Amino acid sequence: MKKLATLVLMIPLLLSWTDSINAEESDQVKEQVIYSIFVDRFNNIDRSRDKQVDIDDPNAYHGGDIQGIIDKLDYIKELGFTTISLSPIMENSPNGYHGYWIEDYFKVEEEFGTLDDVKTLVEEAHDRGIKVILEFVPNYVSENHQFADDSSKTKPNTTADILWLDGTVTLNQENAEVKQMLLDAADFWLKETGIDGYQLHAIEQTSIPFLKQFIDHVKEVKPDIYLTGSVLNPDKLSDEYLDAGIPLIEYGPMQEAMVNVLTNVGTPPSDIYKKWEESGKRTGLLYIDNKFTDRFTREIVENGQNPLTTWKLALAYLYTAPGVPFIYQGSEIPMDGDTQEEIQRLVQFNNSDPDLHDFFNKIAAIRKQFPVLSHGKFELVDSNGAMSIFKRYDEDTTIFIAMNNDVGTKSVFVEDVPEGMQLTGLLGDNIVRKNEDGKYKIGLDRESVEIFITEKDKGLNWMYITAVVGVFLIFVLFIVALSVKHRKRSQ
């Protein structure tokens, strides 16, 4: 009887234990920093496959391939990325450089490589600690797909505002054969290539019952799968989609808010925070541009700002606010452009800015070192003019993120720092100590950023000062002795 009672008492404990394990698994994806690769427009190494390439035609293949990605894995790792997300690589109809004209879900597009190339890519990525996500297109197929002429398997196209959609036929996801084919395709890539997950394309166009079935299915096949979702029409993204079980969904309103604030010097970063509060405090995929938007660099240049300076501010927010940074290829160069041709240009690896590379690396390292930046609570501390300070915190750690988007030097006071602590900057050499009023005054130059951890206030280091003064005194005595000796000799 006593044993039974003990067991019954243990049930809630066991339940909470399994809960925390599940939470840890699903939370892993939230620690990533994702590099988004547009395969045809990344890096052309395997020229033997360039059968449909026409670099002068923005609507033709430009030659990027799987080998081109393998060759750049060290580069991607050096930039601090932990996951790569590839545009669709399934076999496409002619000119399907974007990957959205799928003819066969079980083959690799011949312009990109073979299934063996993809396996090699995944192995090489995993050897470097990099996860691989494939974009999966569940809503439509090429006009040449075997389902395209079967009216029971298709539906009329509903959205016509996208460039490549006129080459596609919308799938009827309620049809049993269509469902089965999509689920089999999802299994195929997981099992054959060892990829870590999927970026589901345009989730707001998917039927909800199918979406839920798909998510349940792939989670059963791979319980620790990384699932992300892209959104083409944010207006159609209802709560049903947000709650369907995809942990990270592209966060359009945040992109708009970030661009608006950061390309208008004098606007406080707290405006981005307000937008986050208004739109329900989601933790989504945070991106500042992608293959469908103008390059952020273009917006910066158009506003007469310095790309390196403004990119640093953007990265500071992307890497420390709730969500996962989703960085479009070429941002690290940084690439520029506002036409399809420019936005989707092959990455210009030779034009890169070493300072921006270093910053990518540094801020990714900070995010990795402090998990509170992935999981902690997020709050606005205060603003002064266009300088704002945010904090991320949990029971053990507090980190302050200071961003000055003002036209001049600004400072903001911070009060809630535990007794005996100082604020130590991780990006520069900034140290802030408590003043006589018990406050911490954080000052920053215009358009700059700093990330502060709280550390024990070391005060002035007397040991060091004594040593330096001591060495100096010995040196002076030595010189005096020498000159006395010299004078005696010359007498």
Establish if 67 lies at the interface with Ca ion (CB under 5 A): no
Establish if 46 lies at the interface with Ca ion (CB under 5 A): yes
Task: For residues 403 and 434, give the distance between their C-alpha atoms in angstroms, rounded to a whole number.
Answer: 20
Token couple for 232 = 């083409």
φ/ψ of 48, rounded to 5, equals -65, -20
Q: Which CB, 65 or 336, lies closer to Ca ion?
A: 65
Edge to edge, the sheet with strand 421-425 lists 377-384, 387-393, 398-404, 448-456, 421-425, 431-432
Taking the complex as a whole, the smallest distance from the CB of residue 95 to Ca ion amounts, in Å, to 9
Taking the complex as a whole, the smallest distance from the CB of residue 164 to Ca ion amounts, in Å, to 14
Q: Which CB, 44 or 310, lies closer to Ca ion?
A: 44
Q: Which CB, 88 or 334, lies closer to Ca ion?
A: 88
Taking the complex as a whole, the smallest distance from the CB of residue 178 to Ca ion amounts, in Å, to 21
Candidates 15-23, 45-53, 305-313, 350-358 — which segment interacts with Ca ion by CB under 5 A? 45-53
Candidates 57-65, 281-289, 313-321, 336-344 — which segment interacts with Ca ion by CB under 5 A? 57-65
Taking the complex as a whole, the smallest distance from the CB of residue 109 to Ca ion amounts, in Å, to 5
Taking the complex as a whole, the smallest distance from the CB of residue 63 to Ca ion amounts, in Å, to 4
Task: For residues 296 and 335, give the distance between their C-alpha atoms in angstroms, rounded to a whole number.
Answer: 9
Task: For residues 341 and 474, give the distance between their C-alpha atoms in angstroms, rounded to a whole number.
Answer: 68
Q: Which CB, 65 or 447, lies closer to Ca ion?
A: 65
Taking the complex as a whole, the smallest distance from the CB of residue 11 to Ca ion amounts, in Å, to 56
Interactions with Ca ion, residue window 392-411 (CB under 5 A): none
Beta strands in 288-396 (DSSP E): 324-328, 377-384, 387-393
C-alpha separations of 427 from 159, 198, 388, 424, 453 in Å:
45, 34, 17, 9, 11
Q: Which residues make Cβ contacts (< 8 Å) with residue 161, sequence separation at least 6?
A: none
Cβ distance 352 to 361 under 8 Å? no
Provide the 8-state DSSP code for 125: H
Which residues in 271-291 are b (16+ Cβ under 10 Å) and which e?
A: bbbebbeeeeebbbbbbbbbb
Size of the site for Ca ion (CB under 5 A): 7
Candidates 47-55, 258-266, 282-290, 324-332 — which segment interacts with Ca ion by CB under 5 A? 47-55
Establish if 63 lies at the interface with Ca ion (CB under 5 A): yes
Residue 171: count of CB within 10 angstroms of its CB: 25
Place of tokens 């319980």: 223
Q: Which CB, 108 or 257, lies closer to Ca ion?
A: 108
Applying CB under 5 A, which of residues 43, 44, 283, 405 lies at the interface with Ca ion? 44
Applying CB under 5 A, which of residues 65, 196, 332, 406 lies at the interface with Ca ion? 65
Q: Which CB, 47 or 439, lies closer to Ca ion?
A: 47
Candidates 38-46, 265-273, 278-286, 478-486 — which segment interacts with Ca ion by CB under 5 A? 38-46
SS3 of 246-305: CCEEECHHHHHHHHHHHCCCCCCCHHHHHHHHHCCCCCCEECCCCCCCCCHHHHHHHCCC
Interactions with Ca ion, residue window 95-114 (CB under 5 A): none
Q: Which CB, 50 or 338, lies closer to Ca ion?
A: 50
Q: Which CB, 146 or 238, lies closer to Ca ion?
A: 146
Taking the complex as a whole, the smallest distance from the CB of residue 56 to Ca ion amounts, in Å, to 16
Token couple for 53 = 């390439």
Edge to edge, the sheet with strand 154-155 lists 140-142, 168-171, 154-155
Q: Which CB, 101 or 378, lies closer to Ca ion?
A: 101
Taking the complex as a whole, the smallest distance from the CB of residue 40 to Ca ion amounts, in Å, to 9
Taking the complex as a whole, the smallest distance from the CB of residue 156 to Ca ion amounts, in Å, to 26
Candidates 92-100, 262-270, 438-446, 454-462 — which segment interacts with Ca ion by CB under 5 A? 92-100
Which residues of the chain form contacts with Ca ion (CB under 5 A)? Answer: 44, 46, 49-50, 63, 65, 92
